[in-house]
Amino acid sequence: MLRCATTTPTKTMSYHQFRDQTGEPCGSFETFFYYDSLGKDRPYRLGERGWYWHSCQPGCLPDGDLSGPFANEQEAIIDATDFI
């Protein structure tokens, strides 16, 4: 499993690999915890407080829309890999 983690005051994130039906790696996704400490009226707000995921390669921009929020990282991972 590909995994790198960083922590900032508003975000904790890690990368995970998608796996196809045979177990082979086929892309990756990022999970992260988001909370907006500056308030709900902020124009560039991502969403509500919680865990999110999106398709993304390390060091690259996301490939898709955010999914979430989820109560914990495990729920976000299950949602990301639910199609397999």
Cβ neighbour number for residue 16 with a 10 Å cutoff: 18
Answer left, alpha or beta for residue 76, where phi above 0 means left and psi between -120 and 50 means alpha.
alpha
**Predicted TM-score (pTM) of this structure:** 0.72
pLDDT by residue (tens digit) across 3-57? Answer: 444 444 445 778 888 888 888 888 899 999 988 766 667 767 778 889 999 998 8
The encoded tokens of residue 20 equal 């196809």
pLDDT for res 46: 78
How many angstroms from the chain centroid is the CA of residue 55?
Answer: 8
φ, ψ of residue 75 to 5 degrees: the values are -65, -40
Q: Where do the structural domains in the chain lie, given as residue ranges? A: 5-81
φ, ψ of residue 40 to 5 degrees: the values are -75, -15
